[in-house]
Structure 1
Amino acid sequence: MNITILGAGLMGRLLACSLARTGHSLTVYEAAAADSRRAAAFAAAAMLAPLAESAVAEDTVVRMGQYGLTRWLELIAELDAPVFFQQQGTLVVWHRQDAAEAQRFGQLLAATGKRLPSLPTQKTLDAAGLDQLEPGLGAHFAQGLYLPGEGQLDNHQLMDALLAQMQRLQVSLHWNTARSPGDFAPGQTGQPDWVLDCRGLGAQPQWPGLRGVRGEIITLHAPNVTLSRPTRLIHPRYPIYIAPKQDGYFLVGATEIESDDTSPVSVRSCLELLSAAYTVDPAFGEARIVELVAQCRPTLPDNLPEVRYLGARCLQVNGLYRHGYLIAPAMVDVVLQLMDDGRSALAENMNCRVADVAGAVIASEARQSMNPVAQEPA
């Protein structure tokens, strides 16, 4: 089939590569330049932490995150360029004055574990236990939690590897070219067989419920810091994370502000994030600030993702919020299943919403009747 994708962010690139590998002809339109780093996919730590996120996320997101942890290994293995991936778990620590908030956090995780027993069980650590996992951490914290099995990847490496893969698969790429679903009549003569809208906040004119949630991230080069796994610090306003990457690089972030503002990082956020990193390991005091990034994540009113039909051959994917890398593999496979036979068992099992343009959830029978691809050749 001839398939058009709007948006070359994380979802657009993953779908383009998946579909091109199976022999379809792909065209991608992106409003930004090829070398732009302004997409939400670049302003992320790419942590794959379903249990940790369960403190602020619905069970649907947690289930999709569990699925994604396994699926990412397969998706990365299909790429030609290497992408940093690790699955050494997550550490959660706190200062004494935040012990009550840490207790509440632990209770939320325990409640999730009861509802979703397939999740790994959190482990309580004392200072010696922290030192065993991360030498020196026990000197600064008396207690912590260890969430086994959680992972992370390098989002910049991934986005670059996906772009290289699209080029090798001869995907037709059109940069600095904004398009909307209304520019196409999928299924008609001379038009694409399918249109997939993955524009994030660029889809606001067609999806008024979309809003931006601002996130701010600092990239540090700290070769003297030895943290080897994502570490979250309980904070009075929001849990701050430190995500180690390769070669002594660390991402510090987790600010969450209801705003469409994409101006530079604020002084307050910068001070809070850097101070938090310093209290986790004073060696961050000698780190070098490599980059300050602020970007808005596309978010729907209930903070849950959604796939919706604009027509029989036009799908919109949006609302991945702060969970983009956590849930992207599940969202990709939901879309592929819908395109393949008009229904998605994965969406039904995980309670992922598939709706029409009016917001009504579509039953499997209705989806089948909307999708003639399984019955007639492209």
Structure 2
Amino acid sequence: MAKQLRVGIAGAGVLGRLLAWRLSRAGHAVTVFDPASGPQAPATGMLGVPSSACAAGFTAAGMLSPLAELDNAGPEIAVLGWRSLALWREVAGQLKSEGANEPLFQQEGSLLLARGSDLGAAHRVLNRLKVDPALTQHMPAPQALDRAHLCALEPALAPDLNAWLLPGEAQVMPRAMLTALCTHAPGVWWCWGERVERVDAGVLHLAGEGPVQFDLVIDARGLGAKPDLPLRGVRGEVVWLHAPGVRLQRPVRLLHPRHRVYIVPRPGDLFVVGASEIESEDRSPVSLRSAVELMAAAHSVLPELAEARIVHMEANLRPALPDNAPQAIHAPGLLRINGLFRHGWLLAPALVEDALQSLDLEPAHV
């Protein structure tokens, strides 16, 4: 049995909440500090909210697509992501057993789509799966779909697309999951409206209040960890659509000349349309060009979206290190996890599990 510790966590995004949930279940006394006003995402209007007002995890679509990420990521990301799929399924099951009543996790596979002009990019992803033993050992093979099979699987999709089913891929419902991780974390003390200015071993320095000491501190602030880490913000933009009667059972990703465009169905006839990566730290609302390109791509894939209504648009920044790879730094009394880039939801459970094991703080299985 690991020693019971007083743990202070800076940041209540995906990593911070998941760490708090797991550590509290292991019996540790956990306090979390975050500048947000509360555990839920702020209400959004048509233009959304400034990215500084909520964690990037609230804006994300929540796709768990380790295979599709091979378009622009190494096999180590895919393997970690595949581990996280099983971990998120366990977390969602435990939260449901503890009273969470909203959908948190769905695993129906996903679809990789390409127009004829973009077949080269699709084959590049698929070929990596065939030649890398680390991937073939862990992941099921994609299944090419002819027009009849695509129509049977997802009748609303444009029939002229090249399509592959990526079995086992999934999605989490970000807003519901982030809220549930707070609601069902027994004994965690959530300190909202508290910004951590600096993190040292065993000490969190709070803005306007000074230092607070713990046995272990964890820095999960994302971009808030600048300048301690050489981070940059990578902009992501999403459009939320309401389309009653339009049916899509699983997330789809279109290999597009300019963007990695995805469409993710959500409960309540909602669809999240987004692009995964824009190299900019601009926090302003979604631009006209991005909105037009995203919605045009979505309409070309799912023609029935023509009469969808725009609910709102959001832009947010994800933290990335120079090599775009996540990093966990351990020292006595200190753990830093950062640089998840666009893979926050995809990688968080596996990174948390590895970090807790390395510190001999692995809680009981969820």
TM bucket (normalised to shorter chain) is 0.7 to 0.9
- C-alpha distance in 2 between matches for 1:262 and 1:308: 28
- Structure with greater contact order relative to length (CA < 8 Å, sep ≥ 6): 2
CA drift at 1:202: 0.1
Q: Secondary structure at the match of 1:78?
A: helix
1:172 aligned partner: 189
Instruction: Tell whether 2:17 aligns with 1:16.
Output: no
For 1:262, give the aligned amino acid.
R
Q: Secondary structure at the match of 2:217?
A: strand
Instruction: Tell whether 2:136 aligns with 1:120.
Output: no
Q: How many residues align?
A: 335
Which structure 1 residue ranges, 5 or more long, are not aligned?
344-378
- C-alpha distance in 2 between matches for 1:282 and 1:300: 38
Instruction: Tell whether 2:179 aligns with 1:160.
Output: yes
For 2:127, give the aligned amino acid.
Q
For 2:320, give the aligned amino acid.
T
CA drift at 1:151: 0.6
Report if the CA contact (8 A) 2:325-2:341 is conserved: yes
Determine which of 47, 54, 70 is the counterpart of 2:63: 47
CA drift at 1:242: 0.5
Matches within 5 A, 1:157-306: 157-166=176-185, 169-182=186-199, 185=202, 191-207=213-229, 209-306=230-327
- C-alpha distance in 2 between matches for 1:295 and 1:113: 35
Instruction: Tell whether 2:51 aligns with 1:31.
Output: no
For 1:17, give the aligned amino acid.
W
Instruction: Tell whether 2:11 aligns with 1:7.
Output: yes
- C-alpha distance in 1 between matches for 2:270 and 2:317: 23
Q: Which has the higher helix share?
A: 1
CA drift at 1:112: 4.4
- Cα 1:142–1:284 change in 2 (3 A) is closer
Instruction: Give TM-score scaled by structure 1 length.
Output: 0.83
Matches within 5 A, 1:50-199: 50-79=66-95, 80-82=99-101, 83-112=103-132, 115-137=135-157, 139-166=158-185, 169-182=186-199, 185=202, 191-199=213-221
CA drift at 1:158: 0.3
Q: Cα RMSD between the aligned structures?
A: 2.1
CA drift at 1:42: 0.7
- C-alpha distance in 2 between matches for 1:255 and 1:117: 27
Identity over the aligned pairs, expressed in percent? 43
Report if the CA contact (8 A) 2:68-2:125 is conserved: no
- C-alpha distance in 2 between matches for 1:252 and 1:102: 20
Q: Secondary structure at the match of 2:328?
A: strand
Q: Which has the higher strand share?
A: 2
Once the two structures are superposed, residues 196-255 of structure 1 have per-residue CA deviations (whole angstroms, 9 ceiling, x without a partner) of 010000001211x11111000111111221111111112101221111111211111124
Which structure 2 residue ranges, 5 or more long, are not aligned?
43-53, 205-211
Report if the CA contact (8 A) 1:93-1:141 is conserved: no
- Cα 1:225–1:204 change in 2 (3 A) is same
CA drift at 1:116: 3.5
Report if the CA contact (8 A) 1:123-1:145 is conserved: yes
Once the two structures are superposed, residues 234-285 of structure 1 have per-residue CA deviations (whole angstroms, 9 ceiling, x without a partner) of 2101221111111211111124111211110111111011001111122111
Instruction: Give TM-score scaled by structure 2 length.
Output: 0.86
- Cα 1:24–1:266 change in 2 (3 A) is same
For 2:353, give the aligned amino acid.
D
- C-alpha distance in 2 between matches for 1:182 and 1:234: 40
Q: Secondary structure at the match of 2:12?
A: coil
CA drift at 1:172: 1.4
